[in-house]
Structures are given as structure tokens and as C-alpha cells.
Structure 1
Amino acid sequence: MYIPDLFKNENPEAIRTFLKENAFGILINQTNGKLWVTHIPLELDYNKDGEEILYGHISKENPQWTAFESNDDVLAVFTGVHSYISPSWYDHENVPTWNYSAVHVYGKIKIVEGDAVIESLSKLVDKYEQNSKCPVRVADLSKKTMMEARGVVAFEIKIQEIQALTKMSQNRDDKNYAAIIKELNNTENPQSIAVAKEMEKYRK
């Protein structure tokens, strides 16, 4: 990913937080001679050796998994809030642009089997059920329901490289930076307002 130096995010903790908060990612590999893409939750964690990984699962009906063993190189893409930035918001002539955050994770994928599949599913469900009124636990599901677990392929991605970009108008002076935040809030667009809140973290 092309990242201008000004927008490069090299803060490991900030990147980890981003991945945990924006875990619905895009898994990309090469399957049967062409690029293949699946949109799925990819959760950041550590394996039994203490190595940082992403874990997830896809349907066995999805051909993507058939290439995991023959070519284990994969790319996982994650995006955060984003918004159009109008040049009319500046006190000078300029060009339109877009504010956004993104993280690309390159790694080696490995299929996991047996108890590791249930453990992976349990961690995923526990994370997203924690705010439910009546949280569901994998351990409480019937054998009949759990038969559906046979229809998934679970995996781990050993992380080799992370590229992170945070483009939030860092190249603007304080006056124009404040103007952008004000205009974003005035849009009444949830994504734009979220970008304004993100920008407020970087400059008071």
C-alpha cells in the first residue's frame, strides 16, 4: 500500500486497537489462478507460541480455502471510518480529498482442525455476544446445531508484515483543521461525524 510518510501509522498499540475495533476485514489470496476475496471477521490474537495472529473461518463451500495449503500467502485488509473532504472548507484554493484509515496485514495462513475450530468459534461468538441481552455461548448449543461447524474451515494467519495508514488532514494548519472538523459535524452523515471525532483525537 502506498503510504506518504505524513500518514504512516507506526504505533503498534494504535494499530492493535484499530484491528480489534474494525475486525470485519477482507481476506485476499490467489485461488485457481485468480485473486479471490472474502468479507469476514478476522480477529487479532496470539497463538500458543505467543505469536500474533489473525484467526477466522469461511464456509467449506467457498473455494478460497482450497488454495491455503498450496499457496499460504494472504493479505487481510481492514478499513475504518472515512469521509469526503470538500476543498470549499478551506480558506484557500485546493483539491478535493478523502480522509480514512486502513491497515493491511500480510501473512501466512494455516488451516486449523479439531478442538481448535471450536475454540476459534467460541472466542468469536463470545466477543460479539457480550453486549446481547441474552448472550449465546457455543458451549450451550445443541449437538444438532453444532453439526453446522462441520461446514466451516477455520484458520490462523501468522502475521509477517503490517502496513497502516491514517489520513486525517494532518497536513492542514490548525485553522483549516478546525474548519474541516466543523464542516464534517455539520453534514449529519454518521461516517463524516465519526471522522470528525477521530480527527479530534489528533489535535486539540
Structure 2
Amino acid sequence: MYTPKNYRNDNTEEIYEFIRQNSFGIMVSHVNNRPWATHIPLYLNIDDKGAVTLSGHISKVNPQWKEFNAEEVVLVIFQGAHTYISPSWYDHENVPTWNYLAVHVYGTIKLIEGEELYDSLSKLVDKYEVDSQNPVSLHTMSQEMVRKEMKGIIGFEIEVKEIQTTYKLSQNRNKHNHSLIIDQLEKKSDDNACQIAQEMRKRVPEK
């Protein structure tokens, strides 16, 4: 994706945490020579050697998986907080814009099945159940039911080849106008605006 240099985030750990916190992504590949997107939760895996993969699954009736191949590069989009920036917040005349956080992941894909798929599903369930009052796991469910449901999905793993980031947080503004934007965002009563304000506070211009 197009990203001006001052909007990039090169902090690997921050990027991984962003993916974990915004793990409901959009996987894009090609079906019949047309872009095809599926909205799905994905699990970030990092092995002992530092290899990074994303694992997930889609419905077997979704035709996207039928055209997966080892040569094709798929794109996964992770969208974070985003909010409108009004020109009325500056100390000078300007135009409206939008601040946002986004991560694009590119990689090659392979299908997984059997115990490998079971382990992938187990990790996903454990991740999202952790805050439940009465958490469940794949292991506590009826195994007959779980195995039956698994027949209706296709599991996959994406070997991450490249990560691109855009953290557009008014880095092109001077310190005074940067502060004015934060003040206005913190007055708004929506989570997106507050999250963008928090991220902006981590990146205050020197001048």
C-alpha cells in the first residue's frame, strides 16, 4: 500500500501486538481472475526461529480456497482505529483528513487439516474465550461435534513474507497543531477518536 515514510511503523513488536489486538482481518486473493475478500479472525504464530505465520479457516462452500496455491501471494488487511480530522481544529486554514492505523500482510498460503487444523482452531478459541466469564475450549466441547463441524471448513496457514504499515497520526503537523488535534479528539465520546489520540501522544513532533 502507499505509505509516506513518516507514517510507517518499523517497530516489529508494536506491529505484532497491533495484529493481535485487531485480529479480525480481511484476506484477499483471486477467484476467477477477480479480487476476492473474506472477513475472518486470524491467529498470529511466531516460532522459536522467528518465522511468522497467520492461521485461520474459511467455510468449505467459499470458493476462495479452491484457488489457493503455493505461488500466489495473498494479502491480509488489519484495520485499527480511525477517525475524522476537522480543518476547524488547526490554527490556520486547511482541508479535512482522516487519521488511521492499518497493517497489510503479504504471504504465501497452504492448506492445513487434521490435527494441525484442530490445533489452529484451539488457539483461536482460547484467544477469544480468555475474557469470557465461563470460558470454554475446544477440548471441553463434545469432540464428536467438533470433528463434525471441522468437516465444513478449510484450514490454512499463511507464511508471512512482507508487512506494510500505515500509522497516519498527523506527523506532518507542527507540535502546536498536533496538540490541538489531540485536544479535540479527546473531547469526542467515541473509542476510535480516543485511541487515535493515545497513539498521537506517543508521537509528538519535536517542533
Fold shared by both chains (TM-score > 0.5): yes
Contact 1:44–1:54 under 8 Å retained in 2: yes
The separation in 1 between residues aligned to 2:72 and 2:111, in whole angstroms, is 10
Superimposed CA distance per residue, residues 28-77 of structure 1 (whole angstroms, 9 cap, x where no aligned partner) = 00012211100001221135875211111111011111011375320001
Of stretches 5-14 and 55-64 in structure 1, the one that deviates more from structure 2 is: 5-14
Where 1:20 maps in the other structure, the secondary structure is helix
Alpha-carbon distance change, 46 to 126 in structure 1, aligned in 2, over 3 angstroms: same
Pick closer, same or farther for the CA change 1:50–1:179 going to 2, 3 Å: closer
Equivalent residues of 1:30, 1:71 under 8 A apart: no
User: 1:159 aligns to what?
Assistant: 160
Counterpart for residue 33 of structure 1: 33
| Cα shift readout 1:114-159 (whole Å, capped 9, x = no counterpart) | 1001000000000110111111110111134211011111110001
What TM-score do you get using the length of structure 2 for normalisation?
0.93
Shift of 1:17: 1.2
The structure 1 segments of at least 4 consecutive aligned residues displaced by more than 6 Å after TM superposition are: none
Partner of 2:199: 198
Deviation at 1:113, TM superposition (A): 1.2
RMSD of aligned alpha carbons: 1.6
Structure 1 stretch 170-179 or stretch 103-112: which is displaced more?
Answer: 170-179
- Equivalenced residues, count: 204
Q: Which residue of 1 aligns with 2:79?
A: 79
Aligned residue type for 2:101: S
Preserved contact between residue 72 and residue 110 of structure 1 (Cα < 8 Å): no
Structure 2 spans left out of the alignment, 5+ residues: none
In 2, the alpha carbon distance for the partners of 1:79 and 1:16 equals 13
Q: Measure the CA separation in 2 of the matches of 1:128 and 1:70.
A: 29
Identity among equivalent pairs (%): 49
Query: Tell me, what secondary structure is at the counterpart of 1:202?
Result: coil
